[in-house]
Amino acid sequence: MAKRQKRQKSKTKRFKLTHKYYERTGFYSFVGKNLKSAILPILGVILLIFLFNKYVYNINDGLRHFTETFSRGTVLVTFFLSECLLGLIPPEIFIAWTKKTDDPIINLSILAVLSYCGGLISYFIGKYISKIEKVRLYLEVKMAKSLQNIKKWGGVLILVGALLPLPFAIACLTAGMIKYPFKNVVFFGLFRLARYAIYGWAIFKVVH
């Protein structure tokens, strides 16, 4: 009983110290700010899809044309390359595409895994970039704030990037540049799968 109480006190102490650290460094305000800024874009995207589908162009017809024009393999490869290269194409387009396929849940799951793997590849791209002097110096200036935040908060920022509509690939890229432990990126990045489940549920409600 005494050992259990001692372990409990030790855990409580560590939690309090971690809480004070995040509070002192401004992590909570950073996450809160991004949460507030993320909610409106998410709702905005869903509303835009709904209004566009109702008044401008039937998205279901467009997605049907998309699935008939391009093969499943082509779509998945395009998505994967996009996720490796900083998410150049909005993933919501591909999530909506899965709803019109024969196996929407399976294809949505594949997208989630590909997005996760794309982030891991971005990590190694970051490690490679860090060895190129000119590129490294340029990115350190342009991404100075991201670099600083990754150094301060590490995996928690990877988690935030995985869950929220923030650049997950950029977070992983930056982690690679500063040589943040890969095993931590692998673990915290798994929350990317949860993001696709949530987005899939929301978009599936709009696309029929």
Structure tokens at 27: 């992590």
4 pLDDT above the threshold of 80: no
Q: Is the pLDDT of residue 90 over 80?
A: no
Helices (H), the chain: 2-25, 27-51, 59-69, 72-84, 91-99, 104-129, 133-142, 144-153, 155-163, 168-177, 182-188, 192-206
pLDDT of residue 134: 74
For residues 12-37, average pLDDT: 64
Residue 109 has pLDDT above 70, yes or no: yes
What's the whole-number mean pLDDT along residues 47-66? 69
Instruction: State the average pLDDT over residues 116-145.
Output: 79
Please state, rounded to an integer, the average pLDDT across all residues of the chain: 76
Band of residue 173 on the pLDDT scale cut at 50, 70, 90: confident
Determine the pLDDT at residue 89.
74
In this structure, what is the dihedral angle of CA atoms 125, 72, 59, 41, given to the nearest 10 degrees?
-20
Q: What does the alpha-carbon distance between residue 72 and residue 45 come to, in Å, rounded to a whole number?
A: 24
User: Among residues of the chain, what percentage have pLDDT more than 90?
Assistant: 12
